[in-house]
Amino acid sequence: MTTVLGKYSDHLYAVLRFIVGASFAVHGAQKLFGILGGMRVPLLSLWGLAGVIEFFGGILVAIGLFASVAAFVASGEMAVAFFTTHLPKGFWPILNGGELAVLYCFVFLYIAAHGAGICSLDRRMHR
């Protein structure tokens, strides 16, 4: 069976990378700057470290600069978030509030494995 959007897969991956990275950066901005309904956290804390990883890692993934490394670090952060914050509330992510952490973890793991792709600064720099 052929895919309907197969010929657009490279471009759709670039959109996915940008949207996921930008969304992750917003979570970091909430923690670091207290904007968009977030609460500012102390920079020298685990929540502060999470904010730094989310903000700067999200930006790097979104623009496709060192995207594999940034996505791998972000994936690890989300795994730690799930196991330390959500899993103690129960096993199932839908019940413990961890579905977003699981989703980010595996999307970032895929991005880390796949690389930045087209429309990225990584690709532009390696021409």
In tens, the pLDDT along 8-55 reads 999 999 999 999 999 999 999 999 999 999 999 999 999 999 999 999
pLDDT of 92 strictly over 90 = yes
Structural domain includes residue 1: no
Average pLDDT over residues 70-93: 97
Distances (CA, A) of 48 to 13, 34, 39, 73, 105: 30, 11, 11, 15, 19
Of the candidates 117, 125, 92, the residue with the CA atom closest to the CA atom of residue 18:
117
Structural domain includes residue 127: no
Structure tokens of 51?
């904010």
Average pLDDT over residues 72-78: 98
pLDDT score for 99: 97
Please tell me the total count of domains within the chain: 1
Structural domain includes residue 69: yes
- Amino acid 33 reads F
Q: Report the chain's mean pLDDT, rounded to a whole number.
A: 95
Structural domain includes residue 58: yes
Range of the structural domain that residue 30 is part of: 6-119
Band (pLDDT 50/70/90 cuts) for residue 2 is low
What burial class does residue 98 get, using C-beta atoms within 10 Å of its C-beta: 0-12 exposed, 13-18 middle, 19+ buried?
A: buried
